[in-house]
Structure 1
Amino acid sequence: MFKKLDDVVKKYDELNALLATPEIATDHKRMIEYNKAINDMEDIVIKYKEYKGYQDELEFIKENLKDEKDEEMKEMMLEEKVEIEEKMPTIEEDLKLLLLPKDPNDDKNVIVEIRGGAGG
């Protein structure tokens, strides 16, 4: 899962870099295509960066917890560690849901007509 997420972030960064080039700025069709792709990936990238931030913070806490002498600081770090460990599984679930392929009909409009009928 994380390999795929790294690939999505890499592709997202590449597309953002391409949008800054003058060739794409003059090609309206490709610009729309790239913007749509970036828009589709944006939620995944934001959530993954949030996950990575929590992961780095957790690693930092674990490293500093061993060396910390002050009991108050240790207690505070343990509380923060527990807080982060509670958030991580929900973020992982969100990422799994975001990685599911999108239905092409999700962006389309629909009109539903509901009529009253006879019967029970």
Structure 2
Amino acid sequence: MSGMRRGLSLVLGEANHARLHAALTLACAAAALGRPVRLFLHGEAVAALQPSRQWAGDAAYAASAMPSVAELLEGALEMGVTVMACQSGLHLCGIAATSLPEGVETGGMVAFLAGAGEDETALG
């Protein structure tokens, strides 16, 4: 792996504002450093992909000049972070795959882990 930066694969399993915000911030920071980054939103965490979702915590973050979850997600996608939504989570939350932001993939945990290879993997 000489010359290549080790990838970062993050798995998020709940729709918790602070965890989503931290994971998306980490994903953006790693991508800014040139690391390949993959993000898997499992179960209820796929709620972060709803474009109209308003997070209660976003108001406090905005007051501190910090981006919202939606802004971080948009930035992550623009920086080339691979974002995958759990197919079961989409069904669980009643979200249609066609309503996901452009660039978000759908799949399962096996496909995500198969693509992670030798990435550093963390659960958030």
Bigger Rg over Cα: 1
TM-score bucket of the superposed structures, by smaller chain: under 0.3
Q: Which has the higher contact order (CA 8 A, sep 6+)?
A: 2
